[in-house]
Amino acid sequence: MFKIQQFIFIISIAFSTSSFGSDKPFKAVQDLFSAISEINHEKMKSIVTSDFQLLEVGEDWDINDLIKVVNPSEYIRRNYFSVIKTKSSGNTAWVSYWNKATFTKGEMVEVVVWLESAVPIKDNNNWKIQMLHSTKIKPENLPKNILLSEYKI
């Protein structure tokens, strides 16, 4: 009887921590930027809600507007993040974070930095981004105490 209880306990832990969907809202943000780096338009669409809104440098975009500017190029994009804060309530969360991208082409490297916030919602046990607000800042204005981590798939 004790072994059956142990087995049930182990199985319940395994299912509660399994990857039947991400329980971390920020992972949706990381995945969106990975899809952008891969220039994978279908993956980009799968990570956002049908009513996705992007507030980008003073403009109001939907996913199709974003896809229009994500085109193949000779540049390699690498993404770096530092989460400021994450809050969640039920199936809705909001996250604020620093976002840095490096665009490399041969010896040339361009650095772009943003201060961003996102509203992921849980959809069928997966977090999807409903709203993203992006403020581009000069790389030299990134606070010196910010520790950015590269996100790789």
DSSP-assigned letters across all residues of 11-76: HHHHHHTS-SS-S-HHHHHHHHHHHHHHT-HHHHHHHEEEEEEEEETTEEE-HHHHHHH----S-E
CA angle 41, 33, 111 (to 5 degrees): 120
Q: Which of 85, 152, 79, 93 is nearest to 121 (CA)?
A: 93
Give the burial string for 129-147 (b: 16+ CB within 10 Å, else e): bbbbebeeeeeeebeeeee
- Paired with 97 in beta bridges are 83, 116
Query: What confidence score (pLDDT) does residue 143 get?
Result: 94
Q: What's the pLDDT at 19?
A: 34
User: Residue 64: its pLDDT value, please?
Assistant: 97
Domain ranges of the chain: 20-151
pLDDT tens readout for residues 31-53: 999 999 999 999 999 999 999 99
pLDDT of amino acid 74:
93
Please, what are the averages of pLDDT over each run of 10 residues along the chain (153 residues)?
41 34 82 96 97 94 97 95 96 97 96 97 94 96 93 74
Task: Return all residues near 136 (Cβ < 8 A) that are at least 6 apart.
Answer: 57, 112, 113, 114
Q: What is the predicted pLDDT for the residue at 108?
A: 96
For position 57, what pLDDT does the model report? 83
- Tell me 144's DSSP state: T
User: Does the predicted model carry a pTM greater than 0.85?
Assistant: no
Fold classification of 20-151 (topology level): Nuclear Transport Factor 2; Chain: A, (3.10.450)
